[in-house]
Structure 1
């Protein structure tokens, strides 16, 4: 790639300028920030006479995707028009005993699916990037499998080289011919660029945003923090584009065009029983994304999805809650429409058991990148 084209690509992906490195509520404790959301959910539960009604917003997903859903099962719903946009993957389970040939079975499955290293290894049931790791060879895959909970399901997915990462929220009501994009989050994982003199820790301190979230970054870096990158060398501080791991999230609704809307609707029409979902994807550049091309979907999330643009450092608290209430309100409205057809939401005790099962698994997964 020529210097000119490389500069153009980076220019299209670079993080937009921002007024403040963090919003004043961005790292509030969960119990504090989500208290109004819980109150809103409770209000709707009383209004619609069901606390688990959003489990019907995606009738083909276990519990609607509130929690405990299978990533492999959701991707397995994709018809041809959707599958063409999904990153290649395989699902498999770890044997119930330590001496099982997990590596051999995984390599054979990769060969059948045409997957080559590097791949992204991730739990089939998880959230917030827990347990996600880039696996670059057989030795790393063997180590990942050996540290995985016995009998649990996982996914191996092609590592997509596109630098851009986004979450696109899509909503369609039963009976509607087309759906709509209601939120776009552009994700920028933390990166430092070397100058040949400062180490990674010093480069973090010199960046307003990275310095403000250094408490999230430094504990995971270990010896890497003392490394002095060469001039122009880009050092990715985390792999998972997750807000709680330090990625910057920007409100990207302005990138939505008729072409992108049509493409996402085409994909979601080929996801039977999925009406309320945040689509996580990687894209080549913003121009391509606007034109609805050159991207790969990593996963579809369900009724527990959050419109993550609310974590834009320039977001106001009132707008964040307004957008949260809109999206969760939509999940209740869609669920109510499906209930009228005779479907029944998951029972509260069953949902609680799913959530507890997922939490137990998440505590046992290997550490993530």
Structure 2
């Protein structure tokens, strides 16, 4: 039996638990998008034009950008909406350094440890106390920048996509996606592995869930006990995404505009935030931002299992076209793009770092 931590969009279950393309290899799904990017690059005579869309961020947030550098640009209005965090470097003294910084920032356990440069939830760890922190930090290679962010207890996580063209006073929201954490409920007889294989959805892609369970996969779960299978709110890590675009309201749009206009020259990206309820989200109340992503982010409602392949590609092409339009406009203002070699360098750096991080929770 599977339940989710929240069900923001009640809908009748479809016989189809996965969409046609939901877990296609990236080399297949993204090939048309890469071709579209190349065509746009030829048209604009600069394949890296989108990196100028958020010109104060490395590659505009396409790859290799620092999460903390984006958050640190926030003014007072935006800072108030960002969940408290500290940044520190991994290594022999990392635990003591992190604890001191957390104390100075007033951050208590539990916290979320995440790499400062990363994507798709790689390396994210939920840390409950000091002892666990001392166990987790050595899993990262020395010299890597990490964040420790206060765990936001709100049950609902949403990805909100924001676009504002240069010259516009306000931007608009193109996507809301609710992220649900799959949770197994024990029956006193089956192991976690068996529960996953029996589940209508997880049983179709057990390779996503089983590796992170390790020895726990053969543990029998007592009747009624719930076990979250994943923590990181990323689709490729096993979270379930639901299309929430119907919940875009003028109030939410106004609140996101107030926040994002307080981050200089930010024009395109996704805000990942937690809220207490759908009602709070729609009214723009009590948002706690846990991450801000730039040009490399997606309108992730495409991973809702009800989204068709045509709708997904139409959404992707629309958003990437906006990055070229915005980037070209920012270049006319005098900003520079990263250049093809700059993009390649940042991508290789990110790829090298991702391969060194531990498995996410």
TM-score (norm 2): 0.94
* Aligned partner of residue 219 in structure 1, secondary structure: helix
> Shift of the alpha carbon at 1:148?
1.8
The corresponding residue for 1:94 is: 90
Distance 2:286 2:205 in 1: 32
Q: Does 1:199 align with 2:191?
A: yes
Whether the 8 Å contact between 1:18 and 1:314 is mirrored in structure 2 is no
The corresponding residue for 1:137 is: 129
* Aligned partner of residue 288 in structure 1, secondary structure: helix
> Shift of the alpha carbon at 1:10?
6.7
Q: Does 1:269 align with 2:261?
A: yes
Whether the 8 Å contact between 1:189 and 1:237 is mirrored in structure 2 is yes
Range with bigger deviation, 359-368 or 49-58: 359-368
The corresponding residue for 2:354 is: 362
Q: Does 1:83 align with 2:79?
A: yes
* Aligned partner of residue 266 in structure 1, secondary structure: helix
The corresponding residue for 2:95 is: 103
Matches within 5 A, 1:148-167: 148-167=140-159
Distance 1:141 1:208 in 2: 35
- Is there any run of 5+ residues in structure 1 with no aligned partner, and where? 1-8
Which residue among 251, 255, 262 is the counterpart of 1:259? 251
Which residue among 48, 57, 63 is the counterpart of 1:61? 57
Distance 1:24 1:199 in 2: 29
Q: Does 1:177 align with 2:177?
A: no
Deviations 1:331-362 (A, max 9, x none): 00000111111222112112211111111111
The corresponding residue for 1:25 is: 21
Whether the 8 Å contact between 1:199 and 1:226 is mirrored in structure 2 is yes
Which residue among 193, 196, 208 is the counterpart of 2:200? 208
Deviations 1:152-176 (A, max 9, x none): 2110000111111111100000110
Matches within 5 A, 1:303-342: 303-342=295-334
Whether the 8 Å contact between 2:176 and 2:245 is mirrored in structure 1 is yes
* Aligned partner of residue 58 in structure 1, secondary structure: coil
Whether the 8 Å contact between 2:163 and 2:172 is mirrored in structure 1 is yes
* Aligned partner of residue 331 in structure 1, secondary structure: helix
The corresponding residue for 1:189 is: 181
Deviations 1:127-153 (A, max 9, x none): 011111011222221222222222221
RMSD of equivalent CA atoms: 1.7
Which residue among 221, 226, 236 is the counterpart of 1:234? 226
Q: How many residues align?
A: 357
> Shift of the alpha carbon at 1:108?
0.7
- Is there any run of 5+ residues in structure 2 with no aligned partner, and where? none
> Shift of the alpha carbon at 1:34?
0.6
Distance 2:154 2:226 in 1: 15
Whether the 8 Å contact between 2:88 and 2:94 is mirrored in structure 1 is no
The corresponding residue for 2:289 is: 297
Whether the 8 Å contact between 1:13 and 1:163 is mirrored in structure 2 is no
TM-score (norm 1): 0.92
Which residue among 275, 278, 282 is the counterpart of 1:283? 275
Whether the 8 Å contact between 1:162 and 1:295 is mirrored in structure 2 is no
> Shift of the alpha carbon at 1:13?
4.0
Distance 1:143 1:66 in 2: 32
The corresponding residue for 1:40 is: 36
Deviations 1:162-205 (A, max 9, x none): 11111110000011011000011111122112334433233323
- Structure 1 runs of 4+ with >6 Å offset: none
The corresponding residue for 1:72 is: 68
Distance 1:156 1:121 in 2: 5
